Amino acid sequence: RVYVVLVILVLIFLTCLGTHCIYGGNGAEEPYPIKGRYSQFTLLTMTYDARLWNLKMFVEHYSKCASVREIVVIWNKGRPPVQNELKSAVPVRVRVEDKNTLNNRFNMDEKIKTRAVMELDDDIMMPCDDLERGFKVWREHPDRIVGYYPRLAEGTPLEYRNERYARQQGGYNMVLTGAAFMDHGLAFERYWSKKAEVGRKMVDSFFNCEDVLLNFLFANASSMSTVEYVKPAWAIDMSKFSGVAISRNTQAHYHVRSKCLAKFSEVYGNLTAKRLFSSRGDGWDV
């Protein structure tokens, strides 16, 4: 009985803590300055009508993060939400797209007022402090993709491998753009360049791999590392509770991504060399 009571108390505590982090505060005491200066970024998320419940929670939580200037909702399908459906501490703009494609994630958008954007899937919940740390790392490396989910592509032909495998091998050479900072002018221009046309057609064909393509385009433009990893304190994938994620069949998802890797490597060359974990010195990439 004592054991059961303790378990219940722990569950109540964790529930209250999670609820507070998501609804009751921004999770970050202060943003991180660089040389005494602060900045802001635009938060972009891509979604559609079946995920509206995710979006409401997403906007309410992340609008409280100190460095978020605006939230742009990339609306791919269905009836878009009206303004009063989304409770936010910062301006929210719903950008309704003409076509349901993953390429919309990187559409050029002249209304974005910041150099930095963070692409973040609407089903990922993490503390604001994790966003602030990632933003600081991006400000130190603005020519790179700074993300929270590292992946490793290696072998002949290239095979798409998860974070656990990357850690076993000691490094990574991609980060997922479902949770990543980037210079939107640089990244979106590369994505919509003529040479990326073949890749964009593959993204539409598989309804997958837009993040893999962007990693290749960055690697193709530099001989140095083009990705940085930041380990989140915690992150919850809300798609596990909804059943609307496109990657819920992990084996099939990884198989498609390996096919993308093979094709992209033919067209764009290889990815940059493996970047080691714990190589940056700030302790955030362990």
From the candidates 211, 237, 282, 285, which is the catalytic residue?
211
> Which H, E and C letters describe the chain, residue by residue?
CHHHHHHHHHHHHHHHHHHHHHHHCCCCCCCCCECCECCCEEEEEEECHHHHHHHHHHHHHHCCCCCEEEEEEEECCCCCCCHHHCCCCCCEEEEECCCCCHHHHHCCCCCCCCCEEEEECCCEECCHHHHHHHHHHHHHCCCCEEECCEEEEECCCCEEECHHHHHHHCEECEECCCEEEEEHHHHHHHHCCHHHHHHHHHHHHHCCCHHHHHHHHHHHCCCCCCEEECCCCCCEEHHHHCCCCCCCCHHHHHHHHHHHHHHHHHHHCCCCCCEECCCCCCCCCC
Active site residue 109: no
Active-site positions read 211
